[in-house]
Structure 1
């Protein structure tokens, strides 16, 4: 029986019942002993008087008393006749037999008071048992109220087994879950405030630029060629804002776990080739070469579209920070424990001061020559990689190289 409360209550009932049974047996034994003693006393007196008057009948009298008389039925009937003459019948009330009546009255009183005492003990045991249970429930209710009021420092101590203990464990779990949810909500609130501030800051510059260009466009004397130039500039700023907003939405969805990744066991090499095909024009324009070092097939569980998004950001970052004529190396290493993808360029590099922050949202290296960067691409890449339960790290040396390593764990 796992319910310790019910088990304890049943043990108390069994113990009380056993004690009351023993009490009953003792009371009956005392009653029989007293009855036997008084019977011997009374019959001894009668026997002594009879033998005193008729000594020769002593043997017969003792036979009758010990149940060894051969003609007892005849004398039993004669004895009943004599008793009837004095008004003593079998159906006579017990109270008319003083000796027997005293014993029965004493026995009944013993049983009655025994019932009263054990009933009181049973009531007291029930009261104490339920008081303990309801005190625990009262404590849990008070604790729940404090948790509702925001006090998570309360402790719920219940180390025994049983339903109350299970309820206490559930309360502790609820308290921890609520505290974690509140903490997460506060963190999300802080994050939302920060991201809104960052978005506002990022959109402020292009919006101000567009506003200035629009004011210039309102000038009717402005030459057509300058109007076209201003409109093209506005288009660049609008495109920049569109990329920023789209990437921010993607990061926010991943952080909120609102993205359902369609992960499949696919060839990672094929996924990389498709990204390179989409970037082929940019690679050719900058006269870059790709040094591919890897097998033809490495199966990794991933969402193809989202992984291409992450690899696109890494490769574009490598392309944009490489000098014309440079080489970008791509390596894929497959082991029984993990698969490793390395993308390395030999361009601008990253300073030691900037290196720990490049995955932060809106972070731009102090020496970056890319003025139109939004600083959200690498943050999105990291979010996608980590959503695949993979790891990403970066190594770099200024004006020497930058190497991104993605590790897919197989277990």
Structure 2
């Protein structure tokens, strides 16, 4: 409708100009009409080209909505549509990045779910077997008590795995808000030792502390205590009866360190780069665990701007070093 109105106005103007020119000279009027017709044809061609280009851009947008990833906007880099095409290009680039991230997260969630299912399958099978054995009338009271103790341990491990996975997922989804407060390392280490002291006592492992001065850092005491508790649990598990787990802490002008070391067999050198990977299970070091505690500890520390690294110590044993810097580096 707008184009028809525009053409009608153009024809009226041409007719009026031709009438005026005819008053002076017929050839002048003819020339005016021809020039006006040529201008109208040229205008229509340009308008058609712009319309075709706009329609092609609409088709490209439609292809993007259908997840076509091989569309280029280079042909729109010049002309009236250049600004619009540039903004659409930015939008599609961002959408592709988000789509790739969603696919990655979907794959990660699928693998994590498969890993959890696999990790729970073995203890669940053991639980079912123990429940079947407990009902046997031939069991003595001592045997039944032993089976109940094993059942409790299995259920406790399963509970720990589920809670740890939920906490890890919340941290990775940025759903956890870490507090920033002055954390006293002496008090923090004392709280962390309480969570591992029973296991250490039952296994005959001695937990010692070597704290120099009164070290502090800025962070979240609750989650950091969970991280240290996981590291202590790991150290106790890999220390033989009669061995020692030592927690050392000190502070400098640059950082505050907390080191958890043990007198176990250490970590195979080839596996040190992978020890913090989720569900990584060493042929020797993590063969009896779920492979999630160390990943959880590192996620907590790094989420607060700290560092956590693993190393071996001489003559034997492993050490996990937590470092919180006083300033961002």
Q: In 2 relative to 1, CA 387–134 (structure 1 residues): closer, same or farther, beyond 3 Å?
A: farther
Q: In 2 relative to 1, CA 253–230 (structure 1 residues): closer, same or farther, beyond 3 Å?
A: same
SS at match of 1:354: helix
Q: In 2 relative to 1, CA 230–294 (structure 1 residues): closer, same or farther, beyond 3 Å?
A: same
User: Displacement of 1:237 after TM fit?
Assistant: 0.8
> Which runs of 5 or more residues in structure 2 are unaligned?
1-16
**Runs of 4 or more above 6 Å deviation:** none
TM-score under structure 2 length normalisation: 0.77
SS at match of 1:146: helix
Number of the residue aligned with 1:244 = 161
Number of the residue aligned with 2:246 = 328
SS at match of 1:312: helix
Number of the residue aligned with 1:290 = 209
TM-score under structure 1 length normalisation: 0.63
Q: In 2 relative to 1, CA 310–112 (structure 1 residues): closer, same or farther, beyond 3 Å?
A: farther
Q: Distance in 2 between matches of 1:369 and 1:192?
A: 23
Number of the residue aligned with 1:263 = 179
Q: Distance in 2 between matches of 1:184 and 1:138?
A: 31
Number of the residue aligned with 1:113 = 31
Q: For each residue in 1:316-335, what CA deviation from the matched residue of structure 2 results, as whole angstroms up to 9, or x when unmatched?
A: 33344346463624344455
Q: Distance in 2 between matches of 1:334 and 1:160?
A: 59
1:70-89 aligned within 5 A: none
Number of the residue aligned with 1:38 = none
Q: Distance in 1 between matches of 2:291 and 2:49?
A: 62
1:275 lines up with 2:191 in the alignment: yes
Q: Distance in 2 between matches of 1:147 and 1:309?
A: 46
SS at match of 1:155: coil
Question: CA-atom RMSD, angstroms?
Answer: 3.3
Number of the residue aligned with 1:174 = 91
Number of the residue aligned with 2:301 = 385
> Which runs of 5 or more residues in structure 1 are unaligned?
1-23, 25-102
Number of the residue aligned with 1:140 = 57
Q: In 2 relative to 1, CA 293–365 (structure 1 residues): closer, same or farther, beyond 3 Å?
A: farther
Q: In 2 relative to 1, CA 327–119 (structure 1 residues): closer, same or farther, beyond 3 Å?
A: same
Q: Distance in 1 between matches of 2:216 and 2:195?
A: 21
Number of the residue aligned with 1:151 = 68
Q: In 2 relative to 1, CA 326–233 (structure 1 residues): closer, same or farther, beyond 3 Å?
A: closer
User: Displacement of 1:238 after TM fit?
Assistant: 0.8
Q: Distance in 1 between matches of 2:190 and 2:36?
A: 88
SS at match of 1:289: strand
Q: Is the 8 A contact 1:360 1:379 kept in 2?
A: yes
**Selected match of 2:310 from 386, 391, 394:** 394
Aligned pairs, number = 302
Q: Distance in 2 between matches of 1:144 and 1:329?
A: 60
Q: For each residue in 1:183-210, what CA deviation from the matched residue of structure 2 results, as whole angstroms up to 9, or x when unmatched?
A: 2232223223322222222112211111
Q: For each residue in 1:59-115, what CA deviation from the matched residue of structure 2 results, as whole angstroms up to 9, or x when unmatched?
A: xxxxxxxxxxxxxxxxxxxxxxxxxxxxxxxxxxxxxxxxxxxx9744475266336
Q: Distance in 2 between matches of 1:159 and 1:343?
A: 58
User: Displacement of 1:246 after TM fit?
Assistant: 0.9
Q: Distance in 1 between matches of 2:224 and 2:211?
A: 18
Number of the residue aligned with 2:106 = 189
Q: Distance in 2 between matches of 1:391 and 1:134?
A: 58
Q: Distance in 1 between matches of 2:45 and 2:225?
A: 69
Q: In 2 relative to 1, CA 111–328 (structure 1 residues): closer, same or farther, beyond 3 Å?
A: farther
Q: Distance in 2 between matches of 1:376 and 1:255?
A: 14
Q: Is the 8 A contact 1:350 1:402 kept in 2?
A: no
User: Displacement of 1:370 after TM fit?
Assistant: 7.5
Which of these two proteins has the greater Rg computed from alpha carbons?
1
Moved more, 196-205 or 395-404: 395-404
Q: Is the 8 A contact 1:291 1:327 kept in 2?
A: no
Q: Distance in 2 between matches of 1:126 and 1:269?
A: 79
Q: Distance in 2 between matches of 1:283 and 1:214?
A: 25
